Structure 1
Amino acid sequence: MLTRGVLAAAIGLSFMLAGCNSATMMSSKREPAPKSSLKPRDKVLLANTPYKEVAPPEAYQRAIVTYHRKEAPGSIVVDSDARYLYYVQGDGTAIRYGVTVGEEALAFSGVAKVGRLAEWPDWIPTADIKRRLGNIPDRVAGGPKNPLGARGIYLYQGNKDTLFRIHGTNQPEYIGEAISSGCIRMTNEDVIDLYERVKTGTTVVVLAPKQGDSPFNPRGQQHANLFGRD
Structure 2
Amino acid sequence: MDNHRITRRFLLVGSLSLLAGCSSNWQRISFPSLYAGIPGVDPRYRKQHVRFDGNEPAGTILVDTNQRYLYAIEEGGWAMRYGIGVGEEGLTLKGRAVVGRKAEWPAWTPTASMIRRKPELAQYAGGVSGGPHNPLGASALYLYRNGQDTKFRLHGTNAPWTIGHAVSNGCIRLTNDDIVDLYARTPVGTQVLII
TM-score range, shorter chain: 0.7 to 0.9
Find the aligned partners of 2:55 and 2:176 in 1 and give their Cα distance: 28
1:62 correspondence with 2:47: yes
Pairing partner for 2:75 from 90, 96, 111: 90
**Could you tell me which amino acid in structure 1 is paired with residue 143 of structure 2?**
L
CA positional deviation for 1:113: 0.4
1:149 correspondence with 2:134: no
Q: Residue 29 of structure 2 corresponds to which residue in structure 1?
A: 43
Q: Residue 161 of structure 1 corresponds to which residue in structure 2?
A: 149
SS, match of residue 41 in structure 1: helix
The 1:196/1:121 distance shift into structure 2, 3 A limit, reads same
Which ranges in structure 1 are unaligned for 5 or more consecutive residues?
Answer: 1-37, 208-230
SS, match of residue 139 in structure 1: coil
Contact 1:101 1:177 in 2 (8 A): yes
Q: Residue 114 of structure 1 corresponds to which residue in structure 2?
A: 99
Question: Could you say what the CA RMSD is over the residues aligned between the two structures, in angstroms?
Answer: 1.8
Contact 1:130 1:136 in 2 (8 A): no
1:178 correspondence with 2:163: no
1:197 correspondence with 2:170: no
Q: Percent identity?
A: 45
Aligned length: 166
Contact 1:42 1:150 in 2 (8 A): yes
Normalized against structure 1, the TM-score is what?
0.69
Q: Residue 111 of structure 2 corresponds to which residue in structure 1?
A: 126
SS, match of residue 71 in structure 1: coil
Normalized against structure 2, the TM-score is what?
0.81
SS, match of residue 79 in structure 2: strand
1:136 correspondence with 2:119: no
Find the aligned partners of 1:188 and 1:54 in 2 and give their Cα distance: 15
Find the aligned partners of 1:121 and 1:132 in 2 and give their Cα distance: 23
